Structure 1
Amino acid sequence: MPATGSVGTMLVLAAVLLAALATVVIGTFGVRLARTTSDFLVAARSVGPRTNAAAISGEYLSAASFLGVAGLIAKHGADALWYPVGFTAGYLFLLMLVAAPLRRSGAYTVPDFAEFRLGSARLRLLAMILVVLIVGLYMVPQFHGAGLALRIMLGVPEWVGVVAVAGIVMANVIAGGMRSITFVQAFQYWLKLTAIAIPALAIGMHFLAGPQPVGEPMPPRAPTDLTVTIADGIVVEVDASTVLDLTGQIDGADIDGRVTFEPGERVLGEGTELRLRAGEAMPTIAGIPRDGDDWLRPGSGLGATDGQGAGLALYEVYSVILAIFLGTLGLPHVLVRFYTNRTGSLARWTSLIVIAMLAVFYLFPVLLGVLSRAYVLQVLLTGATDATVLLLPNAVFDGLGGQLLAALVAAGAIAAFLSTASGLLVCAAGVISTDVLRGSVRDFRISALAAGAVVMGLALAGTRLDISQSVGMVFAVAASTFAPLLLLGIWWRGLTVAGAAAGLIAGGTTSLAAVLIVVARGGAGTGWGAALLAHPAAWTVPLAFTVMVGVSLATRASVRDDVAAVLARMHVPERFGMVRDRDAERWG
């Protein structure tokens, strides 16, 4: 059922429809300008740094940022702060090491860059396959998030949100490509910033006016009388003997009435309803800090721990840092936006502005994640921590004020799904149309329709994990594949085709295998084995770099003869006249 009541539901519906309508209307301005392949792939390389920075920020701030960051902080506490820090700081690597050389390569896509740098059509094909896989893995949680958001806000089945967002995204991309979504994503950055900043500031002022305990040294307790329904079967735990009132299943047994939870873990069946009284100790999903002190203390782990000490928690933190910092510069839908700048210098300016925009935005999900410990602790029982931002306004404010803030949040959430999914679909359509088909506008549109339909089908059929967990794993795949290719390809003359291919295969297969195992299980579990799968970057990234360098050294005789000229073209400023865009070479 919708969480906002009849008036609130109507306000949320109106906000969602307005956000969707604005997306379509703004996209039509780009449609009128989109005529050529260059328009559809890179907006004819005519986007200024401020517009491009807003578009990149709008694209990059996905459901994982708008909804997932606050949920992760509510669930895991201080350790989860590495997510917003890493999402922003990753652009420092782009600014310093990748943005300008990548633009000066004159490529259209990441596979196009691989062929430009190493002169291999087979390597280009391998890169294309990895782009499609990464984009698909990234789009699925966006569609899942849309379904979850509309179910919570409007009470509709999850498939409605998936189909609605997928349909709008495909329509915009097919109609105008990069030209269309550039204007849309720039607008959506400011919409998302407004939609999260105003509720965060309002809830923060309310909290300061009447302080509530946050992170107190005790297990979570129900802030008010609550009735909580478990949507999916989950494992919960308690620290001490706890008596609760519920209807449903515990460890496979049917229960209706008061029951005693003994210390340890219990399995709650799908549809189980718990009735909690104000101040009553709550069970929480297993594997997260229950004590408030642990929640505030760095090193308590990111969810895969099993009481096995600080070493495991430290591994998880460093793996997340490595995945996000390097994964940012390996995300193909982010990289393709730098091709839209006119020059490499403007690409650097774009990166600098993006860092400022992201830094401002991420202040507010962090604040909401902390405040959720005072107002919506029930998400720690249901496991639906991605709903934290959606639930907070009505949990804090009664009446019209809470309903208006909830509607604003709803508009921002829809913008998050639409903007990121649009960028991902443009990226997928670009590589498929230029590497599998002939590269025409018609081929781009066919590719966008096919890719969007396939991902929508996977989202409707697939397992749903936490949005930020899913996206974090995609970052690990990007960090294990394209990050080594770009860093070594731009800065090391010794990279060979064999080395690049071996590194991409080694990093890609291991990181993708970890992702698929976690998805197949419906979650990682606990202990060292779970941590290695849920946070694979700490071992897959070094593996990819080692293999890429080692095989290149073993095949150093195959380094291309004109490598000096290729590197000079990426590093020499444009005013010396060495830059030549590959669109003229490939399509005339």
Structure 2
Amino acid sequence: MDTTGLLSTLAVVVVCAVTLWLSLFVLRLSRRTSDFYVAGRAVSPARNAAAIGGEYLSAASFLGVAGLIYDQGVDALWYPIGYTVGYLVLLVLVAAPLRRSGAYTLPDFAEARLESRGVRHLCSLLVVFIGWLYLIPQFHGAGFTLRLVTGAPLWLGSLVVLVVVVLSVAAGGMRSITLVQAVQYWLKLTALAVPAGIVLAVWWSTHGAGPQVPDSWTLPFTGRDPDEHYLYRTFSLILALSLGTTGLPHVVVRYYTNPDGSAARRTTVRVLALLGIFYAVTVVYGVLGRVYLPTLEAGVRHDTVVLRLPAEVVPGLPAEVLTAALVGGAFAAFVSTSSGLAFAVTGVVNQDVIRPIAGRLTGGDQPEVTGFRIAAAGSVLVPYAVSQVFPEVPLASFVTLAFVIAASTFFPLLALGVWWRRLSVQGAAAGLVTGAVLAIGSMVVSLTRNTSTGWTGALLTHPAAWTIPAAFAAAVGVSLATPHGVPAGAGRTLVRLHTPEEVTQQR
């Protein structure tokens, strides 16, 4: 193993050790059920915003966005814009009401709003599916990152993330991973921004001007085939990313940890700033990557541009140190995002699978924390096993599939559940099923039949523009046809969701 491999391995070890140390440090504070599920509902806006940034900025953000910008030019800037705008939608529509719902998980919210176990079970299945779909690229990213710099087998990087995530989530639940993710946001930002600043400074000192890239890279849709309908594809992508954020289970669950609805809104404003800073740095890697690495060898992934760039700009040991820092930051991204996803899935599996089974077997004596830790292990092992046989795909593109499904299912449920009193149980179920079937069906057809050209390819590979309206139409239409399915307490629930805590505390 060369010097780069040794330094990168050391960086990975440091990230994993810090993660586990922080988890064990917080373990003594996690004793109650609310500590494990919502960190005692006492997380400040500043820490919660950093934690959200830590879990949201995944492998797709740390490596994938820069790779897409390198490959597609300005056309790929819609990815970071969409990711960030999603929090603006969340701020306006659901951030404060979600906190006021008093729920622990997204299925909890659905049951409290609609008073239906059936809708809850549908939500639970979707949370698990979306969480596992999002976890697979995290394991892939960890595997190819470690292989690139050390030559290790693909399974080793994935296994490292698996072990660290299970231990950190099981140790202290939400209270534990909140601190871990908050620290990892700043670690990731530092690991990405410092090498970017050094590389940019070297370029500027050498050339005295900004990097020059081909015109086709800086103009939207340049050289694109008009028959591929890129305007539609871009519009559908923006919808998926901006509305899908609101429906991602690991994002939504973080808002249950704020003290009140006002704190939830302040958290979101801070998140917008933190994401904007981070994504601005990824553009540097995309632009300079195009300058220093105008072409990549056959079979080399665009995701690796971030890790390859320092060696092209800075010679010797400095390049090796910068590469090691980027590897450490990448692993922080894999671990923090995987922890958030694992927690979201764990909470649902524990409440809807482990606890009912344990209750029947033990007469209800199964400790809550024990069930949570069992669920944590199972929730990560399944996607890890799938990732070992699933073909590798570009990180950002694969993660977009999870956004499409979330936007087509949970976004209509949350938007209507928070703002429309006449949503019925049957309507909510119809919206969830319609969105899930159409989004997942499109995904399966596009992957298995390799349909990527013409209108058929555009509609199947970027279905959000029609699956989201279809889900809304199904939910609204069925609700209007089934007024008897509107929960009796819907009015009281909506009043609670929209009444500021300052008002309720004065009563």
TM-score range relative to shorter protein: over 0.9
Partner of residue 351, structure 2: 434
Q: Aligned pair count? A: 494
Partner of residue 534, structure 1: 461
In structure 2, distance between residues paired with 1:421 and 1:481 = 22
- Within-5 A mapping of 1:145-184: 145-184=141-180
Please give the TM-score of this superposition, normalised by the length of structure 1.
Answer: 0.81
In structure 2, distance between residues paired with 1:300 and 1:374 = 18
The SS at the match of 1:560 is coil
From 125, 129, 136, the equivalent of 1:129 is 125
Is the counterpart of residue 345 in structure 1 residue 262 in structure 2? Answer: yes
Please give the per-residue CA displacement for 1:165-215, whole angstroms capped at 9, x wherever unaligned.
111111111121111111110000000000010111111122223349966
Partner of residue 108, structure 1: 104
In structure 2, distance between residues paired with 1:376 and 1:16 = 26
Partner of residue 387, structure 1: 304
Q: CA RMSD in A?
A: 1.8
Offset at residue 144 of structure 1 (A): 0.5
* 1:525 to 1:156, Cα distance in 2 relative to 1, 3 A: farther
Partner of residue 455, structure 1: 383
Is the counterpart of residue 422 in structure 1 residue 422 in structure 2? Answer: no
Partner of residue 572, structure 1: 499
Residue identity opposite 2:463 in structure 1: P
Q: Could you tell me which runs of 5 or more consecutive residues in structure 2 were left unpaired when the two chains were aligned.
A: 357-367
Partner of residue 296, structure 1: 218
Which range moves more in the overlay, 100-109 or 38-47?
38-47
The SS at the match of 1:107 is coil
Is the counterpart of residue 56 in structure 1 residue 52 in structure 2? Answer: yes
Offset at residue 557 of structure 1 (A): 3.2
Offset at residue 559 of structure 1 (A): 1.7
Please give the per-residue CA displacement for 1:471-507, whole angstroms capped at 9, x wherever unaligned.
1111111100100000010011111111110111011
2:425–2:487 contact (8 Å) kept in structure 1: no
Offset at residue 381 of structure 1 (A): 4.1
State the percentage of identical aligned residues. 49
Offset at residue 438 of structure 1 (A): 1.9
Is the counterpart of residue 503 in structure 1 residue 420 in structure 2? Answer: no
Is the counterpart of residue 23 in structure 1 residue 37 in structure 2? Answer: no
In structure 2, distance between residues paired with 1:370 and 1:515 = 31
From 2, 9, 13, the equivalent of 1:13 is 9
The SS at the match of 1:364 is helix
In structure 1, distance between residues paired with 2:451 and 2:22 = 41
Which range moves more in the overlay, 397-406 or 6-15?
6-15
Is the counterpart of residue 563 in structure 1 residue 457 in structure 2? Answer: no
The SS at the match of 1:33 is coil
Is the counterpart of residue 402 in structure 1 residue 319 in structure 2? Answer: yes
Partner of residue 284, structure 1: none
Please give the per-residue CA displacement for 1:115-170, whole angstroms capped at 9, x wherever unaligned.
01111000000000000000000000011000010011111111111111111111
Partner of residue 445, structure 1: 373
1:73–1:80 contact (8 Å) kept in structure 2: yes
1:43–1:179 contact (8 Å) kept in structure 2: yes
Structure (1 or 2) with the greater strand fraction: 1
Please give the per-residue CA displacement for 1:428-487, whole angstroms capped at 9, x wherever unaligned.
000111122328211111111111111110111111110000111111111001000000
Partner of residue 550, structure 1: 477
Please give the per-residue CA displacement for 1:312-361, whole angstroms capped at 9, x wherever unaligned.
01011001100011011110100000001111111111111111111111
- Within-5 A mapping of 1:22-421: 22-211=18-207, 216=213, 292-300=214-222, 307-309=225-227, 312-379=229-296, 381-421=298-338
2:4–2:150 contact (8 Å) kept in structure 1: no
Please give the per-residue CA displacement for 1:247-267, whole angstroms capped at 9, x wherever unaligned.
xxxxxxxxxxxxxxxxxxxxx
The SS at the match of 1:436 is helix
2:250–2:341 contact (8 Å) kept in structure 1: yes
From 494, 497, 521, the equivalent of 2:422 is 494
In structure 2, distance between residues paired with 1:404 and 1:514 = 44
Structure (1 or 2) with the greater helix fraction: 2
Please give the TM-score of this superposition, normalised by the length of structure 2.
Answer: 0.94
Offset at residue 535 of structure 1 (A): 1.5
Partner of residue 469, structure 1: 397
